[in-house]
């Protein structure tokens, strides 16, 4: 035990003396948390739109006001030419075109039905879907207001006036996307500290030749591995506490569940991630090789973890592959505990899965390390 403590002490001294690693541990996570949480958002605001109003009626102006008063849309201009509006879209100067045909008001009040055209820049399919959804919601709201005022639709009169429908959203009632993103960014930061820096630190020993000097000492390999990985485990746990504090102070993220449960799961998760970093270090001879392997594994796991879109929406083969993705487990658990207030019985399966990963990855990395040392 004393030998392990001496190695841990040595590692902490090396970390604090390393002018490259120190900013990566304490400065970059803070900067990334501030930037990425604000930048990586699915909220659409300031959608530039052009209206082609060929009707110039009271109803068309009323509909245009609905869009201009919306927090999502910015009305650039109103024109009479569809070609002009489409040219502006081709030049990437607008995101949406609303075309109100001539006779809009006459058909609306005379026939009870009319048509509109919405043109959306769909280079980004997800963005186009959101824009179309926002526009459709505004138009539907406008239609319901007309129907309730005129009573022209018999179906409206069949609805009892004393029934009202109120929408309620669970766990994130304000639909604040930052509350959803902060736990995801924290998961990535913990993974970087645990896997990326730990593997680079071990490979650095190979490049400097100091690992050969350590191997000829009476220090056992399990002592060396524990002493190498424990400092990054401690640093990562500190980063989690620091990140949660920043998230609460700056973004007011809710903490509905038990922080003790969250830190217990994070402790297991970091063992699995550190084991993965150790495995990568045994497969690499230089820091450059370790960086390439880390980037390949990290980018793949992050994109499949469900940080932006639910993992349940992925193809079945991708969901099956996600069973060996530790980020997917922690991404789900941290959001469940912080946002939903989930208890241990709700995440017991995730605890078991990450514990198995921790044992398998650490054992495989240790075996591989003994084989090549």
Helices (H), the chain: 2-17, 21-26, 28-39, 58-68, 82-90, 104-110, 125-150, 154-158, 177-191, 198-208, 210-215, 221-251, 259-282, 287-304, 316-321, 326-335, 344-372
pTM for the full model? Answer: 0.75
The domain of 90 spans 47-158
Q: With helix as H, strand as E and coil as C, how does 29-86 read?
A: HHHHHHHHHHHCCCCCCCEEEEEEECCCCHHHHHHHHHHHCCCCEEEEEEECCHHHHH
Kindly report the number of other CB atoms within 10 A of residue 127's CB atom. Answer: 16
In three-state secondary structure terms, 100 is: strand
Residues 128/122, Cβ–Cβ less than 8 Å: yes
Examine the domain organization and report whether 111 and 18 are in the same domain.
no
Q: Tens-of-pLDDT digits for all 373 residues of the chain?
A: 777 887 788 778 777 777 777 777 777 777 878 887 776 666 667 789 999 999 888 888 999 999 988 888 989 989 989 999 999 988 888 999 999 999 888 887 777 778 888 999 888 777 788 888 888 888 888 887 877 666 554 444 444 444 455 656 677 666 677 888 888 889 988 898 888 888 887 787 777 777 666 666 777 777 778 888 888 899 899 989 988 998 888 888 889 899 999 999 999 999 999 999 888 888 888 888 888 888 888 888 988 888 877 777 788 888 888 899 999 999 999 999 998 889 999 999 999 999 999 999 988 888 887 644 4
If phi > 0 it is left, if psi is from -120 to 50 it is alpha, else beta; for residue 252 that is: left
Examine the domain organization and report whether 110 and 180 are in the same domain.
no
Number of domains composing the chain? 2
Examine the domain organization and report whether 194 and 342 are in the same domain.
yes
Whether 167 maps to a domain, the answer reads no
Q: Of 208, 209, 368, which Cα lies nearest the Cα of 283?
A: 368
Examine the domain organization and report whether 189 and 242 are in the same domain.
yes
Whether 166 maps to a domain, the answer reads no
Q: Please list, in sequence order, all residues whose beta carbon lies within 8 angstroms of the beta carbon of residue 43, skipping any fewer than 6 positions away.
A: 177
Of 129, 158, 187, which residue sits at a domain end?
Answer: 158
Whether 9 maps to a domain, the answer reads yes
Indicate which CATH number applies to the domain containing 136: 3.40.1710.10
Examine the domain organization and report whether 194 and 242 are in the same domain.
yes
Query: How is residue 149 written in tokens?
Result: 């005022």
Kindly report the number of other CB atoms within 10 A of residue 160's CB atom. Answer: 6
Distance CA 265, CA 12 (A): 24
């Amino acid at each position: 035990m004393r030998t392990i403590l001496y190695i841990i002490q040595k590692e902490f001294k090396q970390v604090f003396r390393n002018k490259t690693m120190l900013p990566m541990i304490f400065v970059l996570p803070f900067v990334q948390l501030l930037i990425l949480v604000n930048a990586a958002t699915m909220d659409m605001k300031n959608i530039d739109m052009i209206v082609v109003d060929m009707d110039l009626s009271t109803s068309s102006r009323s509909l245009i006001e609905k869009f201009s008063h919306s927090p999502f849309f910015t009305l650039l201009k109103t024109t009479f030419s569809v070609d002009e509006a489409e040219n502006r879209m081709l030049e990437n100067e607008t995101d949406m075109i609303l075309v109100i045909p001539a006779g809009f008001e006459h058909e609306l009040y005379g026939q009870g039905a009319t048509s509109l055209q919405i043109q959306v820049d769909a280079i980004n399919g997800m963005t186009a879907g959101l824009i179309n959804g926002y526009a459709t919601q505004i138009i539907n709201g406008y239609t319901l207001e007309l129907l309730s005022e005129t009573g022209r639709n018999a179906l409206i009169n069949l609805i009892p006036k004393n029934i009202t429908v109120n929408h309620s959203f669970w766990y994130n009632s304000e639909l604040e996307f930052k509350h959803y993103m902060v736990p995801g960014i924290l998961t990535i930061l913990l993974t970087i500290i645990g896997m990326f820096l730990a593997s680079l630190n071990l490979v650095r020993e190979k490049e400097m030749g100091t690992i050969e000097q350590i191997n000829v000492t009476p220090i056992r390999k399990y002592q060396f591995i524990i002493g190498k990985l424990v400092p990054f485990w401690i640093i990562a746990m500190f980063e989690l506490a620091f990140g949660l504090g920043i998230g609460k102070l700056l973004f007011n993220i809710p903490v509905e569940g038990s922080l003790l449960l969250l830190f217990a799961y994070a402790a297991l998760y970091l063992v699995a991630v550190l084991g993965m970093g150790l495995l990568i270090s045994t497969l690499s001879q230089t820091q450059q090789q370790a960086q390439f392997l880390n980037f390949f594994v990290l980018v793949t796991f992050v994109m499949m973890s469900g940080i932006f879109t639910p993992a349940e929406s992925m193809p079945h083969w991708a969901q099956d592959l996600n069973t060996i993705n530790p980020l997917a487990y922690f991404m789900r658990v941290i959001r469940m505990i912080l946002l939903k207030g989930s208890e241990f019985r709700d995440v017991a399966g995730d605890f078991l899965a990450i514990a198995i990963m921790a044992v398998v990855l650490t054992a495989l990395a240790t075996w591989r390390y003994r084989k090549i040392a």
